[in-house]
Amino acid sequence: MGRTLHELSILLAGEAGAGINSTESVLTAVFKKDRRHVFATKEYMSRVRGGTNSTTIRAASTRVTALSGTVDIFIPLDADAFARYKKNLQEATLVLADPGVIDSKQIHPVAFNDIAESCGSAQYAGVVAAGTIAAIAGLDRNILADQVRRQFEKTGAEVVAANIKAAEAGFETGCKIAADLGLRVIIEPSDEVAEDIVVSGAEAVALGAIAAGCDAVFAYPMSPSTSTFTALAGWAQQCGIALEQVEDEIGVINMALGAWYAGARAMVTTSGGGFALMTEGLSLAGITETPAVILLAQRPGPGTGLPTRTEQGNLLMAIHAGHGDFARAIFAPGTLEQGYEITRRAFDTADRFQIPAIILADQYFVDTYYTTPAFAVPERVARHIVEAPEGYKRFALADGILSPRSVPGFGPGRVCVDSDEHDESGRITEDLDGISLRMKLRRASKIKLVKDSAMMPDLYGAEDYETLFICWGSVLPAAREAVARCGKTSALAHFTQVFPVNPQVQHLIERARRVVVIENNQSAQFRQVLETALRIRLDHTILKFNGLQFSVAELSALMKEAV
């Protein structure tokens, strides 16, 4: 009996080093070039060889930005991959596997290894699989061949020819499978895809930093933040960015603060363990009122935890890091567009308010990519720096809460900052009830200023809602798709700024009969933030903390139960 699909979700799995990434790159590029919307994300173990890695690709006629949670086609390249992911399969899942590798009645036999060896090497099995999927999906075989050529052009003509042969053999195999099973995949081409770009979350943040006028980037490599650092490294020379891999995270944050003090716009990239080492530097930014932009890409902890998995477990740490009281702003993009725009906003917020701005991403966000409209490039970047006149006082109280910030060499004035408590000129003071107290009060006033300017959440779903779901960061795409399945009385509020919370949020929550907070962590950290900020009690949560992100299917079921 035949089957027709208007959307396709593909799971490809095998050991590290088996070419899963190359197969993913080929397929997503072919879907995009053939004008189909495509989404891809990956799960990978913390090792260079062995283990089991996977990629999930979702293609549709309309924009797709989340993991569906269903599997239409599963290609396990080894027995371990089949054993690991068979629990994720549905009754209708088509499992294409080599019978010489996997002995199961669930599989539709495809001799991937034999086909690959006939093309020159068993290493081409992933490319054979790519060709098979391309044929089943109804993609253009010429686009496939061209993309394979581009993918492997640096490996030499002989290897390129062998890979193209493997892709063609896989394509023929896919055509036969579709005909034998009566399987039709109808994904209509979309003209808007031709103008789209395909970038990852890591690249979206990197592009946002470039658009914000980033002049310098500092990091000590730590997954999952390293992908943003390497993206910026690739563009650094073209964009005039100074980039330094520093000896440790203490040096990272201090170099960034030095760059801002000297007039540059700087960003650091890190994860939870690295950020923990930066907290003294964060406090230094607080008292010297020096801007800082920090990408904190989260992964499960504590300790080393799960370095290659995802979690939203660092929110409370980001809020409370650093000794003493000082203002900060924390953002959490949910989509690629937000990754770009929020990074630009983080730079402007840090510069304008002279505070640290933290971008909370996570492994799922940085490693996910899909077709998205090209990002708008600003005509100019506002830099909040003034020329220092004679007698310039860096922390002048007469100028209000925000003292005009200058940098050394810009004007005749002297620019002095100090990590000790200081007077208006930046010199150390111990006048406890005089200038020291006035400085503390002014910095405290900045906290309220940042709170009053905080972003409101974006609202999706019913305007007259009874149930309000709340989420933040990377949960958005799955939750947005899921809330549409929850009926006409449900809405979703997504926070791209998670701290401080705008007081006006209270009115959104008061309109609901039931409020449910959705988070990728164990302790409902954002619920705690909302309860503290708004002095309310929120009793209902949907939490996931096994190192994996929510899928649309999973979240839909949980949200329907909560309504």
pLDDT over threshold 70, residue 362? yes
What domains appear along the chain, each with residue ranges and CATH number? 3-195 (3.40.920.10), 198-372 (3.40.50.970), 458-562 (3.40.50.920)
Per residue in 491-548, pLDDT tens?
999 999 999 999 999 999 999 999 999 999 999 999 999 999 999 999 899 999 999 9
pLDDT over threshold 90, residue 81? yes
CB 517 within 8 A of CB 540: yes
Mean pLDDT computed over 21-37: 96
pLDDT over threshold 90, residue 19? no
pLDDT over threshold 90, residue 256? yes
Instruction: For residue 445, give Cα distances in angstroms to 138, 282, 325, 328.
Output: 60, 19, 11, 12
Per residue in 467-495, pLDDT tens?
999 999 999 999 999 999 998 999 999 99
DSSP-assigned states of every residue in 136-177? HTT--HHHHHHHHHHHTGGG-HHHHHHHHHHHHHHHHHHHHH
Give pLDDT, residue 300: 97
Beta strands in 201-334 (DSSP E): 216-219, 242-245, 266-270, 292-298, 329-331
* Residue 500: both structure tokens together: 């401080």
CB 420 within 8 A of CB 395: no
CA–CA distance, 235 with 248 (Å, rounded to integer): 23
Q: Is the pTM value of this prediction over 0.85?
A: yes
CB 388 within 8 A of CB 414: yes
CA nearest neighbour of 22 among 148, 206, 178:
148
Single-letter code of the amino acid located at 192: E
Mean pLDDT computed over 9-22: 90
